[in-house]
């Protein structure tokens, strides 16, 4: 089938970006979105042009590398699917697809469709873990964890850190990402002791980065490839509110946000 | 790794207010206060369906509350102010969080109400100002007469002007829209969520908002249709 | 050269404890003065960096992705083995050890495997403590399942995302150390050379994938945890970025590469659909627990699967292996699928596929139960193929998936270059000629969490480290070599893209050094690879420049290394005149088509040493002795 790809091209952060249209005559409906870009890039290279930079790695929808906005929707029209698993059969012959990078101040552009998502690592770094060192762990079955709790934790832990939630949020908020980690660890008995401190420090880091606020609008969960539920944000807020009303000596210190590094 | 210093606890309330999450909590709490007023005011207004003496007496009672009335007004004003300040600050932050916008955007999961909060809020505010000037202060009276103290008559004559009614109905619909998202969102903001309850919460919020809208607009409609004279 | 694997003497059960006690310790105050480089941030690298950071070493961790959380360990679906024996079904450390040695077709080092089995339980404990949301029973205890041909339920899992959850556990532990300041994380950076000074590994040369900048990082020890080399086949289940470059550059600096021809084919992947195909998608082997594999009895049967009556279906695995049936090990399942397709029984458009049928399970267990067990895999299959596996059987075909070969390491996971340690899939040590399902995660974490913290400490405490700076001739030489290569690749400006070469190389390796190999074919392959490599260096085109994000340039360097590796794989496969595990030489098979080992002549690790670009590599043998598990013909009948 024939398609036109209208792709955002930008050499780097400091240069101006533009949309460039690339007509494609021979798109197989069985291809994935990224394979379609591969084919385009092969032809660009042979024409002596610079190929489109886009991030990708596992192409199985789990590493979280890939992702861009396709026709106004992060990861494209298919729910619960990353760009790498989006099949071209969802488009019609003659369609024009607009591909844009995640757009958020906290995700500075690197090139074309590639952005820098280190801000998400910073949020984890601030407290997205259980502070347990290697070697001292008790026997695995010492603390029973009910199946419902384990499932709830797993639902949140499924986050792949792709950043689509930020991209889709009209406020460019990272609440779903942060809430997912706070929920994953917070509901488990292993994560309970640090629960409030974790919420304080992760929220502090989230606010130190240039993300917007959550308006409970729900676009994030709509585009999330793992369909992480909106409740995780409420869980984050609850832990944060509870933690904020207690006196504590050990207030978190956020690390310098991404924008200060670049 | 370099760290930015945060001064310890003396500044805790400030830190809370400075965080986006804290501001949303403030918006939720002030939202609840305003919602309380909206419900009370509606219940008061529905006395229009009884004899004129009822609502006139109610108006009289409110006016004679003295300091209490001013405390209530003060609290509400403060709530409105905080709600608006937080909104503006968060909106500015959100705008800054996406300096380059998308050329194309398609909403796939959000309600119309949630996407239009920035519009429904200010329009309702503008309406409230108009409404106060019309019925409380009596500065604007498109109707022929405004009689201080005769609430019933003022309402009836006011709503008989067609565009006052239309403006009122329009604003109340927007209020309903604002509430249908806001009532649900405040649970999210303060962190009251439960996997089994949350799915119903959004529908409950919508139902309550609908009741509020119907309660309010029943009055101008009844006036226009001649049920209330 | 004589290889010393440094296996402790005495009973195997006490070997690791003895080794640990014999190892020297670094004074706590001195730990932060020692710097350690970790290349790779997957299960092995991430776990190693986190654990060494916890101990107080000054760690730098590198990955080519934008975040350590994206390492390809994340894609492992099925689970992780551990000798916990929770289900009370006969599991023990010895049985896990036994199964792993046997599963590896008696080409693994006994002592390493025994240690792996011993440590396996601690890994689960550690991950549970980190908050890894393993599947649980209603009573709250950890759930187990049988997996990949094991007859005991020893596999722990987190839905179909076990690798993801374990990796996130390691990633979080790593980020905790980044926050504590003991680990510096350097993402989007590729290691391009190893710096060896006075015989010791003392650092690496890196290139930033964003700015193209070259940097030298000096340390007291270098740990490679850079994964496997399945992408030499172009089409594999590995991530697109997975590459052999770090290991290969170490090989060219003198590290030995062991058993390169031991590669594993995974039986349950989604078949190729077209020429544009960029990678293969694996579906968890757990599908074989409830799915039945069959082909039509009639060659080239054009009927849709649901119209083929029961008596016209050949459930060939159940027929040939009555006791293991559909749960035979990966190499056996893969080879049988290939044999069926080669004989013309294959299904699907390309004829390269067999059916994996759930209709019986759905009838027996109900669709709900099947959905609970495999829902995400079924969804993935449907997303890719547009076919509903609840209604029509899946089509599957084997795909390259894991490489057992890798850099040679001793019992302490140190290569033959002092100070160069190799962990996880990048080393060769634990899986022999075939890896059992759910063992890779176990090995990566065992190496990273529980072995390297001891052995690196031992190395650092036992050696002296002269000061090395960038003016050192060895450093200068390495940097120049790296820059020259990059410039060369950019300057060829030929007519073919890197991917077109990679595809062609992959096809050669798959055809001649894939699931079945012959001496004749391997010789052809070596000639073809050399010819294609020559063309590559004349005719490849790499667009853009070296000073910004340039994926073609990254790939060009990696493919150049794959060419050299591919040749070594064929040389190794040609040299090993026997069949074992994933290495199936058609000349060496039993009358009923099973792998025929030759323990007399080939019970050794083939470690290859680099002899310069024009000389053939040198083969150094590490003999394998089996005191606890006696080599026998593997039988799954």
Question: Which positions in chain A touch B107 (Cβ < 8 Å)?
Answer: 219
Residue C335 in any domain: the answer is yes
**pLDDT at site C179:** 96
- Higher pLDDT pick, A102 / C377: A102
Assess whether pLDDT exceeds 90 at residue C617. Answer: yes
Residues C371 and C481 occupy one common structural domain: no
pLDDT-derived band at B3 (thresholds 50, 70, 90) equals very low
DSSP bridge pairs for C583: C580
Residues C281 and C393 occupy one common structural domain: yes
Query: Residue B114: which of A172, A207, A217 has the nearest Cβ?
Result: A217
**pLDDT at site C518:** 97
Report the candidate in A121, B190, B180 with the shortest Cα–Cα distance to residue C184.
A121
pLDDT-derived band at B11 (thresholds 50, 70, 90) equals low
Question: Which positions in chain C touch B4 (Cβ < 8 Å)?
Answer: none
Pairwise CB contact (< 8 Å): C133 & A157: yes
Instruction: Please give the Cα distance from C462 to C456 (Å, whole number).
Output: 10
Report the candidate in A233, A143, A200, A124 with the shortest Cα–Cα distance to residue C133.
A143
Residues C389 and C492 occupy one common structural domain: no
| A118-261: CATH topology | Fumarate Reductase Iron-sulfur Protein; Chain B, domain 2 (1.10.1060)
Pairwise CB contact (< 8 Å): B9 & A247: yes
Residue of chain B whose alpha carbon sits nearest to that of C184: B1
Tell me the per-residue pLDDT of C400-458, one tens digit each, with 9 for 90 and over: 999 999 999 999 999 999 999 999 999 999 999 999 989 999 999 999 999 999 999 99
Report the candidate in C414, C438, C440 with the shortest Cα–Cα distance to residue C222.
C414
Q: Where are the domains of chain A?
A: 3-110, 118-261
Instruction: Please give the Cα distance from A224 to A80 (Å, whole number).
Output: 6
**% of chain C exceeding 70 in pLDDT:** 100
- Beta strands (DSSP E) in C270-393 are 292-296, 313-314, 354-357
Question: Which alpha helices (DSSP H) does chain A contain, by range?
Answer: 33-46, 118-127, 147-157, 164-168, 175-186, 195-208, 219-223, 231-244, 258-261
DSSP for residue C325: G
Pairwise CB contact (< 8 Å): A234 & B99: no
Pairwise CB contact (< 8 Å): B103 & A233: no
Question: Which positions in chain A touch C500 (Cβ < 8 Å)?
Answer: 42
DSSP bridge pairs for C604: C623
Question: Which positions in chain B touch C60 (Cβ < 8 Å)?
Answer: none
Question: Which positions in chain C touch A184 (Cβ < 8 Å)?
Answer: 131, 133
Pairwise CB contact (< 8 Å): A61 & C380: yes
Residue finishing a domain among C400, C433, C462: C400
Interface confidence (ipTM) of the complex = 0.97
Sign of the CA dihedral running C32, C35, C41, C44: negative
Distance (Å) from the C-alpha of residue B2 to the closest C-alpha of chain C?
10
- The CA–CA distances, whole Å, from C176 to B225, C51, C125, C523 equal 69, 11, 19, 51
Residue C7 in any domain: the answer is no
DSSP bridge pairs for C609: C618
Residue of chain B whose alpha carbon sits nearest to that of C179: B1
* H-helix or E-strand spanning residue B174: helix B162-190
The alpha carbon torsion through B17, B18, B24, B28 (nearest 10 deg) reads 10
**pLDDT at site A259:** 83
Tell me the per-residue pLDDT of B143-168, one tens digit each, with 9 for 90 and over: 777 888 899 999 999 999 999 999 99
- Contacting B with CB below 8 Å, chain C residues are 178-179, 181
**pLDDT at site C331:** 84
Pairwise CB contact (< 8 Å): A234 & B115: no
Pairwise CB contact (< 8 Å): A73 & B109: no
Instruction: Please give the Cα distance from C413 to C255 (Å, whole number).
Output: 12
Tell me the per-residue pLDDT of C565-590, one tens digit each, with 9 for 90 and over: 999 999 999 999 999 999 999 999 99
Report the candidate in C175, C152, C182 with the shortest Cα–Cα distance to residue C86.
C152
Instruction: Please give the Cα distance from C441 to C140 (Å, whole number).
Output: 23
- Contacting C with CB below 8 Å, chain B residues are 1
Pick the most confident of B187-201, C366-380, C513-527: C513-527
C364: how many CB neighbours lie within 10 A of its CB?
11
Question: Which token pair is C247?
Answer: 């290991």
What residues have CB less than 8 Å from B75, skipping those under 6 apart? Answer: B33
- Interstrand relation of C540-541 and C496-497 (parallel, antiparallel or unpaired): parallel
**% of chain C exceeding 90 in pLDDT:** 89
DSSP for residue C76: -
**The residue to which tokens 């890039």 are assigned:** A41
- For an interface test with C, give the residue of A1, A27, A62 to mutate (most C CBs within 10 A): A62
Pairwise CB contact (< 8 Å): A57 & C168: no
DSSP bridge pairs for C407: C257, C427
Total residues found in chain B within this entry: 229
Distance (Å) from the C-alpha of residue C317 to the closest C-alpha of chain A?
28
At residue B190, φ and ψ (nearest 5 deg) are -90, -5
Domain extent, residue C316, equals 266-400
**The residue to which tokens 């080393």 are assigned:** C427
Instruction: Please give the Cα distance from B98 to A101 (Å, whole number).
Output: 12
List the single range of A158-172, C29-43, C316-330 with lowest mean pLDDT. Answer: C316-330
**pLDDT at site A247:** 74
Distance (Å) from the C-alpha of residue A138 to the closest C-alpha of chain B?
30
Report the candidate in C441, C508, C524 with the shortest Cα–Cα distance to residue C232.
C508
Query: Kindly report the CA angle at C286 between C323 and C283, in degrees rounded to 5?
Result: 130
Tell me the per-residue pLDDT of A56-82, one tens digit each, with 9 for 90 and over: 999 999 999 999 999 999 999 999 999
Assess whether pLDDT exceeds 80 at residue C86. Answer: yes
CA A184 vs. chain centroid, Å, equals 16
Pairwise CB contact (< 8 Å): A207 & B21: yes
Annotate C556-583 with DSSP letters as a single string.
HHHHHHHHHHHHHHHHHHHH--S-BTTB
**% of chain A exceeding 90 in pLDDT:** 92
Q: Which residues of C396-420 are buried (b: 16+ CB within 10 A; e: fewer)?
A: bbbbbbbbbbbbbbbbbbbbbbbbb
Residue of chain B whose alpha carbon sits nearest to that of A174: B97
> In terms of C-beta density within 10 A (0-12 exposed, 13-18 middle, 19 or more buried), how is residue A23 classed?
exposed
Pairwise CB contact (< 8 Å): B100 & A103: yes
Question: Which alpha helices (DSSP H) does C181-264 contain, by range?
Answer: 245-252
CATH classification at residue C575: 1.20.58.100
Distance (Å) from the C-alpha of residue C284 to the closest C-alpha of chain B?
30
A residues 42-61 closer than 8 Å to C (CB): 42, 44-46, 48-51, 53, 55-61
Question: Which positions in chain A touch C129 (Cβ < 8 Å)?
Answer: 130, 132, 136-138, 190
Residue of chain A whose alpha carbon sits nearest to that of C272: A30
> In terms of C-beta density within 10 A (0-12 exposed, 13-18 middle, 19 or more buried), how is residue A48 classed?
exposed
Query: Residue B97: which of A171, A223, A237 has the nearest Cβ?
Result: A171
End-to-end CA distance of chain B: 74
As for how many domains chain C has, the answer is 2
- For an interface test with B, give the residue of A170, A200, A232 to mutate (most B CBs within 10 A): A170
Distance (Å) from the C-alpha of residue A170 to the closest C-alpha of chain B?
8
Pairwise CB contact (< 8 Å): C276 & A39: yes
Cβ contact A110:A116 at 8 Å: yes
Residue C300 in any domain: the answer is yes
Residues C394 and C483 occupy one common structural domain: no
Question: Which positions in chain C touch A61 (Cβ < 8 Å)?
Answer: 380
CATH classification at residue C344: 3.90.700.10
Residue finishing a domain among C347, C381, C400: C400
Tell me the per-residue pLDDT of A185-201, one tens digit each, with 9 for 90 and over: 999 999 999 999 999 99
Question: Which positions in chain B touch C177 (Cβ < 8 Å)?
Answer: none
At residue A173, φ and ψ (nearest 5 deg) are -95, 145
According to the CATH classification, is domain A3-110 in 3.10.20.30?
yes
Assess whether pLDDT exceeds 90 at residue C544. Answer: yes
pLDDT-derived band at B5 (thresholds 50, 70, 90) equals very low
Report the candidate in C408, C395, C461 with the shortest Cα–Cα distance to residue C605.
C408
Chains A, B: CB pairs < 8 Å = 175
Assess whether pLDDT exceeds 50 at residue A184. Answer: yes
Question: Which token pair is A240?
Answer: 């944060």
Distance (Å) from the C-alpha of residue A61 to the closest C-alpha of chain C?
9
Cβ contact C222:C407 at 8 Å: no
Instruction: Please give the Cα distance from B131 to B75 (Å, whole number).
Output: 19
Assess whether pLDDT exceeds 70 at residue A262. Answer: no
Instruction: Please give the Cα distance from A228 to A234 (Å, whole number).
Output: 12
- Average model confidence (pLDDT) for chain A? 95
Instruction: Please give the Cα distance from C68 to C50 (Å, whole number).
Output: 12
Question: Which positions in chain A touch B96 (Cβ < 8 Å)?
Answer: 105, 210, 212
Pairwise CB contact (< 8 Å): C175 & A116: no
Assess whether pLDDT exceeds 70 at residue B97. Answer: yes
Partners of chain C (3+ Cβ pairs below 8 A): A, B
Q: How many CA atoms lie within 13 A of B66 on its CB side?
A: 1
Assess whether pLDDT exceeds 90 at residue C310. Answer: yes
- The CA–CA distances, whole Å, from C25 to C16, C20, C31, C58, C458 equal 16, 10, 10, 16, 6
Assess whether pLDDT exceeds 90 at residue A101. Answer: yes
Residues C596 and C489 occupy one common structural domain: yes
pLDDT-derived band at B7 (thresholds 50, 70, 90) equals very low
Instruction: Please give the Cα distance from C250 to C192 (Å, whole number).
Output: 9
Cβ contact C36:C52 at 8 Å: yes
**pLDDT at site B9:** 44
C residues 35-64 closer than 8 Å to A (CB): 47, 50-51, 54
> In terms of C-beta density within 10 A (0-12 exposed, 13-18 middle, 19 or more buried), how is residue B190 classed?
buried
Question: Which token pair is B87?
Answer: 């909104």
Annotate C146-175 with DSSP letters as a single string.
--TT-SS--EE-STT-HHHHHHHHHHHHHH
**pLDDT at site B155:** 93
Pairwise CB contact (< 8 Å): B94 & A173: yes
Question: Which positions in chain A touch C75 (Cβ < 8 Å)?
Answer: 58, 60, 62-63
Quote the pTM value: 0.96
Sign of the CA dihedral running B75, B81, B84, B90: negative
Indicate the angle between helix axes A147-157 and C162-180, nearest 10 degrees.
70
Report the candidate in A172, A179, A159 with the shortest Cα–Cα distance to residue A238.
A179
């Amino acid at each position: 089938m024939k398609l036109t790809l209208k792709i955002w091209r930008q050499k780097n952060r400091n240069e101006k970006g533009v949309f460039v249209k690339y007509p494609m005559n021979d798109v197989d409906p069985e291809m994935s979105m990224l394979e379609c870009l591969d084919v385009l890039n092969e032809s660009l290279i042979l024409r002596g042009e610079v190929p489109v930079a886009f991030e990708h790695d596992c192409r199985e929808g789990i590493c979280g590398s890939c992702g861009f906005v396709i026709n106004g929707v992060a990861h494209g029209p298919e729910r619960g699917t990353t760009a790498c698993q989006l099949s071209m059969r969802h488009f019609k012959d003659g369609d024009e697809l607009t591909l844009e990078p995640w757009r958020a101040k906290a995700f500075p552009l690197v090139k074309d469709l590639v952005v820098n998502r280190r801000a998400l690592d910073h949020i984890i770094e601030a407290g997205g873990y259980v502070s347990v060192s290697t070697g001292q762990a008790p026997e695995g079955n010492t603390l029973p964890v009910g199946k419902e709790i384990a499932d709830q934790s797993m639902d949140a832990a499924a986050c792949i850190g792709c950043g689509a939630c930020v991209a889709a949020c009209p406020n460019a908020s990272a609440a779903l990402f942060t809430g997912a980690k706070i929920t994953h660890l917070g509901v488990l008995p292993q994560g309970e002791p640090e629960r409030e401190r974790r919420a304080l420090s992760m929220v502090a880091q989230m606010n130190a980065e240039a993300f917007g606020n959550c308006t409970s609008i729900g676009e994030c969960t709509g585009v999330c490839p793992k369909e992480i539920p909106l409740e995780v944000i409420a869980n984050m807020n609850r832990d944060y509110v509870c933690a904020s009303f207690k006196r504590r000596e050990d207030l978190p210190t956020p690390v310098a946000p991404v924008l200060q590094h670049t | 790794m370099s760290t930015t210093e945060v001064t310890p606890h003396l500044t805790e309330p400030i830190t809370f207010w400075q965080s986006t999450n804290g501001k949303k909590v403030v918006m939720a709490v002030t939202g609840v206060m305003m919602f309380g007023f909206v419900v009370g005011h509606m219940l008061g207004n529905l006395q229009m369906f009884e004899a004129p003496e009822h609502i006139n007496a109610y108006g009289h009672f409110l006016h004679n509350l003295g300091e209490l009335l001013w405390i209530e007004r003060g609290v509400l004003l403060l709530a409105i102010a905080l709600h608006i300040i937080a909104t503006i600050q968060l909106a500015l932050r959100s705008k800054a969080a996406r300096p380059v916008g998308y050329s194309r955007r398609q909403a796939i999961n959000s309600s119309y109400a949630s996407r239009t909060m920035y519009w429904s809020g200010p329009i309702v505010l503008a309406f409230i100002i108009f409404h106060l000037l019309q019925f409380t202060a009596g500065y604007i009276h498109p109707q022929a007469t405004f009689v201080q103290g005769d609430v019933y008559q003022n309402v009836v004559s006011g709503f008989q002007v067609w565009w006052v009614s239309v403006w009122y109905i329009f604003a109340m619909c927007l209020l309903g829209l604002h509430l249908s998202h806001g009532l649900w969102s405040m649970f999210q903001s303060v962190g009251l969520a439960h996997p089994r309850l949350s799915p119903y919460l959004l529908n409950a919020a919508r139902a309550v908002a609908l009741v509020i809208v119907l309660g309010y607009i029943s009055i101008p409609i009844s006036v226009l249709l001649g049920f209330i004279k | 050269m004589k290889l010393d694997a440094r296996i402790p003497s005495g009973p195997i059960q006490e070997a690791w404890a003895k080794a640990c006690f014999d190892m020297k310790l670094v004074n706590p105050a001195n730990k932060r003065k020692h710097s350690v480089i970790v290349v790779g941030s997957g299960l092995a690298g991430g776990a190693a960096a986190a654990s060494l950071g916890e101990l107080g070493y000054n760690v730098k961790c590198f990955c080519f992705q934008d975040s350590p959380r994206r390492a390809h360990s994340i894609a492992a679906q099925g689970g992780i083995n551990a000798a916990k024996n929770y289900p009370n079904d006969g599991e023990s450390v010895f049985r896990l050890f036994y199964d792993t040695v046997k599963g590896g077709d008696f080409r693994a080092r006994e002592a390493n495997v025994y240690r792996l089995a011993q440590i396996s339980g601690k890994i689960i404990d550690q991950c549970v403590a980190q908050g890894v949301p393993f599947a649980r029973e209603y009573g709250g205890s950890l759930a187990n399942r049988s997996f990949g041909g094991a007859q005991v339920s020893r596999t722990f899992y987190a839905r179909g995302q076990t690798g993801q959850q374990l990796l996130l556990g390691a990633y979080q532990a790593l980020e905790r150390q980044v926050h504590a300041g003991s680990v510096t994380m350097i993402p989007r950076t590729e290691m391009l050379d190893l710096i060896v000074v006075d015989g010791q590994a003392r650092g690496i040369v890196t290139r930033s994938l964003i700015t193209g900048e070259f940097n030298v990082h000096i340390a007291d020890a270098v740990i490679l945890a850079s994964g496997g080399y399945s992408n030499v086949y172009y089409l594999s289940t590995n991530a697109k970025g997975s590459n052999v470059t770090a290991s290969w550059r170490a090989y060219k600096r003198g590290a030995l590469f062991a058993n390169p021809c031991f590669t594993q084919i995974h039986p349950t992947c989604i078949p190729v659909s077209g020429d544009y195909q960029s990678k293969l998608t694996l579906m968890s082997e757990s599908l074989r627990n409830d799915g039945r594999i069959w082909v039509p009895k009639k060659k080239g049967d054009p009927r849709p699967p649901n119209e083929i009556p029961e008596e016209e279906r050949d459930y060939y695995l159940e027929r040939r292996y009555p006791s293991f049936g559909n749960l035979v090990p990966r190499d056996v399942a893969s080879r049988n699928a290939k044999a069926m397709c080669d004989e013309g029984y294959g299904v699907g458009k390309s004829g390269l596929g067999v059916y994996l049928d759930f209709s019986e399970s759905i009838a027996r267990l109900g669709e709900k139960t099947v959905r609970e067990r495999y829902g995400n895999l079924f969804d993935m299959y449907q997303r890719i193929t547009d076919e509903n596996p609840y209604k029509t059987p899946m089509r599957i075909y084997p795909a390259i998936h894991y490489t057992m070969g890798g850099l040679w390491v001793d019992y302490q996971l140190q290569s033959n270059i002092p100070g160069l340690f190799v962990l996880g899939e990048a080393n060769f040590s634990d899986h022999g000629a075939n890896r059992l399902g759910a063992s890779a995660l176990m090995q990566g974490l065992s190496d990273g969490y529980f072995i390297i913290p001891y052995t690196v400490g031992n190395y650092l405490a036992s050696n002296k480290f002269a000061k090395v700076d960038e003016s050192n001739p060895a450093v200068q030489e390495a940097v120049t070599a790296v820059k020259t290569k990059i410039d060369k690749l950019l300057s060829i400006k030929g007519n073919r893209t890197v991917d077109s070469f990679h595809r062609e190389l992959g096809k050669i390796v798959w055809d001649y050094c894939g699931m079945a190999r012959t001496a004749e074919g391997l010789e052809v392959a070596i000639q073809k690879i050399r010819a294609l490599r020559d063309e590559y260096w004349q005719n490849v085109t790499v667009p853009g420049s070296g000073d910004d994000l340039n994926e073609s340039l990254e790939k060009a360097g990696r493919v150049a290394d794959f060419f050299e590796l591919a040749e070594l794989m064929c040389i190794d496969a040609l040299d090993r005149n026997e069949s074992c595990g994933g290495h199936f030489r058609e000349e060496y098979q039993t009358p009923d088509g099973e792998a025929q080992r030759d323990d007399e002549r080939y019970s050794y690790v083939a470690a290859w040493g680099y002899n310069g670009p024009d000389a053939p590599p040198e083969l150094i043998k590490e003999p394998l002795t089996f005191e606890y598990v006696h080599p026998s013909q593997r039988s799954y009948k």
